[in-house]
Structures are given as structure tokens and as C-alpha cells.
């Protein structure tokens, strides 16, 4: 089914652009023009909307085309539109709904706008995008810079082929290649700007090799418990220096295989050791994004998951790479009782981070710097007072 003409979509495109401008996501006229002119619906002919079905299961409901006013409203709403599901986890639950882990999406427009603004492109800049997905972001870059200066890679060749079709339907032919973007662009060209729309645990060496002094990198760094967008400038020694940006947002992780995520390797959980009272609750961890980011600095290699026990009680669980864990209940928070197994030091770190964050006046995430040294080592620091956390490479 072909996409509706741009004229029909124009009022929706304008309304979205106005909304992104009002919210401050679009900050400059050039990106306002790009969002106003590039039709998102051409890039998202099919998407999955999350819903709870009649049996209480959360599913991805398939939608096709932008043929009705309701479809256009959905496509031009400031929302992420999931466009692909991992076939290894996707299970069809009825004619048009699946469960499963998303492997591609058209990013939340306000997040895209914020990142594009943070990228600070100038006329003549050559830009590499990691994570082509639908091709919509590449089209926005083409609008701003010209298609000859836009390069984009995606690990999934099927997505690249579809993006190529969407881009040609919009009259654009940037340089697209199916490739693992953690290795940069396959020809080894250098770029003035690199933007990643999938997360990486650390800035890959290839991105630095394909940078020049002054190149700006914008990427989501996934640190385990939490992560965030960083904006870094590469210097003549290959050091890249910057901070977590005011634009908050998270991306799906870069993967090594085209269509599926490798199953996570986890150590066996230690047996429960004890419980003890704590001033830090699951609500504190859930509510305060900058605190979770700080936890990630304190507990490299740890992750945070939901845990449901046999009685159906849900808790937030931090698990360390050595099998240690600590669990705070989501309800009954006022009790502040934490159960743990293995090293009790895991929760001691959570309490130390909570004290530090409160004593420092609850700094927001953009008060934290991030640097990748030329040798690949990385650290974060609290910009006002220089308190520093080494970020070891994740295994
Ligand atoms: C959020 S989507 C990108 C959205 C896209 N920029 C757009 O405008 O539609 C993330 C993309 O990263 C891709 N991806 C995941 N791992 C990758 C890797 N190692 N190299 C390149 N792309 C990867 C996924 O296939 C997915 O399409």
C-alpha cells in the first residue's frame, strides 16, 4: 500500500514540528525546517504499538500504513514507533499481535531533535549515523546537509534495504551500508560528526579512528544499571571529552547479529544471606534517573532488574557480576527492608551513592562529565567538584 501524499500529512507534520519547537527539543530554524519537510509516515509504513490484550498480556500490535487520519495522528505523535521484533523472542499471540524484544524503531522525535541539535552540525559537515533503522533520521540529516554528506550503517541488511526504499521514495540517496556500526563506516572515511542511535557500553575505538580533531560524537553510553546520552569532542590526541547531555533518552543496545540479541550470560545468583533495614528504597531508584546513573558509576558491571517472587511480590533487584544481589520491595517501601545474597557490599555502595547524591544537592545527569582517553579507558566526574569514577570496560 503506498504512502498518502505529503499534502495530506502536512498539517500533522507541522503540528509535530510546532510541538517539538514549543518543548525546546527543536532549538534552531534549520532543524525546524527539516522536521517540517521530511514526512515520517514514508519511513514508517508498519509499526507495533504496545498494548495489554484481553488476557492481560503486554503485546506489540501491528499497524500498517498511514491511510486514515488516526494513523497519521499516531505517526506524527511524539512517540517511539517500534518497527522490528527479535524473531528469537517474538511469539505471535493473535492475528496481528506479538510478544518479543524490539530490535528497531523510529526514535521518539523529541529525542531525535535534541540529539541533532546537540550534534551542532555546520554546512559541509560529513556525518556518520550508527543505526539506520527506518532511515528517517538519515533523511533529516540529508535535508540539513545534503545527501552526499550523510553516511549511515545498520547491522540488519533487511532494515538497510527497507530504509533505502523509504529514502528513495523521499527522493534521497545517502550512503547506506549494512555493517556493524561499532566498527564505524566500512571504508574507514573520517567524519565531522558521529551520531549513534543504538547504545554502546563504551565509545568504540573505530569511531575515534574515523574522527578528526574537533569531531563531535553523540551517543547513548549503556553502563549496566543506567546510561545516558553523551556529547564528546575528539581532540588531536584522540581523547574525547564532554558530558552527559540535558537531552535524556535511552536506545536499544548495539548487537553483534543482524536480527537477534545474544542471550545474556549471567552468573548463578548467590543464596539469600540476610535482610536489613535501609534508608534507600526501590522508589528512590525508580524515580531519580541521575541517582541511577550515579549507581552505574559506583557499581560497574551490575544491572538492575525486576524480580517477582513465588508470592507475586515485585521488587527491584541489583545484581552484581559475581552473583551477589540486593533486592528492595516495590511496595511496603516505607519499611525499607532489603534482602541480599552474596557480598553485602553491593547494597553498601547503593547507600553510599544515595548519601553522596543527596549531600551534593541531587545533581542532574548533565552535571556529570564523561571522557574517553586515547587508550580507551574512561571515567565520569561530577563537574562542579571533580569527584571522579573510573568506568572499567564492561565484559
Ligand atoms: C532506534 S533504532 C534507529 C532509528 C533510526 N535512526 C531511525 O531514524 O529510524 C536502532 C537501530 O540500531 C541498529 N543496530 C543495532 N546494533 C547495531 C550495530 N552493531 N551496528 C549498527 N546498527 C545497529 C538496529 O538494527 C536498529 O535499527
**What pLDDT does residue 173 have?**
98
Q: What pLDDT is stored for residue 394 in this prediction?
A: 67
Reported confidence tier of residue 7, pLDDT bands at 50, 70, 90: confident
Question: What's the grid cell of residue 257?
Answer: 547479529
For 109-244, CATH number? 3.40.50.150
Ligand 1 atom nearest 43 alpha carbon: 9
Ligand 1 centroid to residue 358 C-alpha, Å: 36
Predicted confidence at residue 166, as pLDDT, reads: 97
If one residue of 75, 151, 154 were mutated to test the ligand 1 pocket, choosing by the most ligand atoms within 8 A of its CB, it would be 154
Q: Where are the domains of the chain?
A: 6-101, 109-244, 272-359
**pLDDT over threshold 80, residue 334:** no
- Cell numbers 562542579: residue: 384
pLDDT value at position 101? 92
Contacts of 90 (CB under 8 A, 6+ apart): 98, 99, 100, 101
Q: How far is CA 7 from CA 172, 206, 250, in A?
A: 19, 42, 33
How many Å apart are CA 262 and CA 274, to the nearest integer? Answer: 33
- The pLDDT-based confidence of 350 (bands split at 50, 70, 90) is very high
Cα dihedral value 198, 201, 205, 208, nearest 10: 60
**Is 363 or 267 the better-scoring residue by pLDDT?**
363
- Ligand 1 pocket list (CB less than 6 A): 103-107, 130-131, 133-134, 136-137, 153-156, 159, 180-182, 197-198, 251-252, 254-255
Instruction: Report how far ligand 1's centroid is from the alpha carbon of 180 (Å).
Output: 10
Pairing of the two strands 272-277 and 337-341: antiparallel
Could you tell me the pTM of the whole model? Answer: 0.96
Residue ID of nearest Cα to ligand 1 atom 1: 105
The per-residue pLDDT for range 377-392, each reduced to its tens digit, is: 999 999 999 999 999 8
Residues near 176 by beta carbon (within 8 Å), at least 6 away in sequence: 132, 135, 138, 151, 152, 153, 154, 160, 163, 164, 167
Residue nearest to atom 17 of ligand 1 (CA): 254
Is residue 387 within 8 Å of 381, Cβ to Cβ? yes
- Whether 34 contacts 140, CB under 8 Å: yes
Lowest mean pLDDT among 15-24, 63-72, 73-82, 356-365: 63-72
**Alpha-helical runs (H) found in 76-185:** 109-119, 136-145, 157-169
Among residues of the chain, what percentage have pLDDT more than 90? Answer: 80
- Ligand 1, atom 11: nearest CA belongs to which residue? 131
**Residues 197-216, mean pLDDT to the nearest whole number:** 97
Burial of 343 (0-12, 13-18, 19+ CB in 10 A): middle
From 109-113, 158-162, 264-268, the region with the lowest mean pLDDT: 264-268
What does the mean pLDDT of the chain come to?
A: 93
159 CA to centre of ligand 1 in angstroms? 9
Distance CA(163)–CA(176), nearest Å, equals 9
**Confidence category of residue 53, pLDDT binned at 50, 70, 90:** confident
Give the per-residue pLDDT at 344. Answer: 87
Q: Residue 37 above 80 pLDDT?
A: yes
pLDDT number for residue 74: 93
Backbone phi and psi for residue 68, each to the nearest 5 degrees, phi listed first: -115, 165
Mean pLDDT of 372-376: 97
Residue nearest to atom 13 of ligand 1 (CA): 131
And the C-alpha cell for 83? Answer: 518497527
Between CA 394 and CA 267, with CA 101 as vertex, the angle to 5 degrees is: 40
Q: Which residue has the higher pLDDT, 278 or 213?
A: 213
Nearest residue to 119 (alpha-carbon basis) of 105, 106, 130: 130
Query: What is the distance in A from the centroid of ligand 1 to the CA of 170?
Result: 20
pLDDT tops 70 at residue 295? yes
> How far does the centroid of ligand 1 lie from the alpha carbon of residue 154, in Å?
5
Confidence at residue 333, expressed as pLDDT on a 0 to 100 scale: 54
Closest ligand 1 atom, CA of 159? 27
Amino acid at each position: 500500500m503506498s504512502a498518502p501524499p505529503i499534502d495530506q500529512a502536512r498539517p500533522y507534520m507541522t503540528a509535530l514540528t510546532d510541538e517539538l519547537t514549543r518543548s525546546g527539543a527543536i532549538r534552531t530554524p534549520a532543524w525546524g525546517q527539516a522536521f517540517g519537510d521530511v514526512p515520517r509516515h514514508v519511513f514508517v509504513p508498519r509499526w507495533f504499538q504496545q498494548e495489554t490484550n484481553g488476557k492481560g498480556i503486554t503485546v506489540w500490535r501491528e499497524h500498517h500504513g498511514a491511510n486514515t487520519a488516526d494513523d497519521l495522528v499516531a505517526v506524527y505523535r511524539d512517540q517511539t514507533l517500534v518497527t522490528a521484533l527479535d524473531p528469537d523472542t517474538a511469539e505471535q499471540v493473535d492475528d496481528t499481535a506479538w510478544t518479543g524484544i524490539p530490535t528497531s524503531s523510529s526514535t521518539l522525535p523529541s529525542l531525535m531533535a535534541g540529539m541533532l541539535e546537540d550534534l551542532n552540525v555546520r554546512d559541509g559537515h560529513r556525518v556518520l549515523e550508527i543505526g539506520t533503522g527506518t532511515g528517517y533520521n538519515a533523511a533529516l540529516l540529508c535535508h540539513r546537509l545534503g545527501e552526499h554528506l550523510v553516511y549511515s550503517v545498520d547491522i540488519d541488511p533487511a532494515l538497510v534495504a527497507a530504509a533505502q526504499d523509504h529514502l528513495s521514495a523521499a527522493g534521497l540517496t545517502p550512503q547506506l551500508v549494512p555493517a556493524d556500526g561499532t566498527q564505524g563506516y566500512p571504508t574507514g572515511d573520517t567524519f565531522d560528526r558521529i551520531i549513534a542511535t543504538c547504545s554502546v557500553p563504551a565509545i568504540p575505538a573505530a569511531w575515534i579512528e574515523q574522527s578528526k580533531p574537533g569531531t563531535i560524537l553523540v551517543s547513548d553510553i549503556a553502563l549496566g544499571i543506567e546510561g545516558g546520552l553523551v556529547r564528546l569532542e575528539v581532540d588531536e590526541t584522540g581523547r574525547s571529552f564532554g558530558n552527559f547531555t540535558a537531552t535524556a533518552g535511552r536506545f536499544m543496545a548495539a548487537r553483534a547479529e543482524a536480527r537477534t540479541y545474544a542471550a545474556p550470560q549471567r552468573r548463578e545468583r548467590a543464596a539469600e544471606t540476610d535482610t536489613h533495614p535501609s534508608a534507600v528504597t526501590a522508589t528512590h531508584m525508580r524515580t531519580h534517573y541521575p541517582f541511577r546513573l550515579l549507581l552505574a558509576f559506583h557499581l560497574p558491571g551490575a544491572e538492575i532488574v525486576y524480580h517477582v517472587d513465588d508470592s507475586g511480590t515485585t521488587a527491584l533487584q541489583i545484581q552484581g557480576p559475581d552473583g551477589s544481589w540486593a533486592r528492595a520491595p516495590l511496595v511496603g517501601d516505607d519499611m525499607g527492608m532489603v534482602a541480599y545474597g552474596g557480598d553485602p557490599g553491593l547494597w553498601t555502595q547503593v547507600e553510599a551513592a544515595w548519601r553522596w547524591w543527596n549531600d551534593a544537592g541531587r545533581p542532574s545527569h548533565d552535571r556529570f562529565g564523561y571522557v574517553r582517553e586515547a587508550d580507551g579507558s574512561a571515567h565520569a566526574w561530577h563537574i562542579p567538584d571533580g569527584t571522579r569514577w573510573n568506568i572499567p570496560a564492561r565484559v
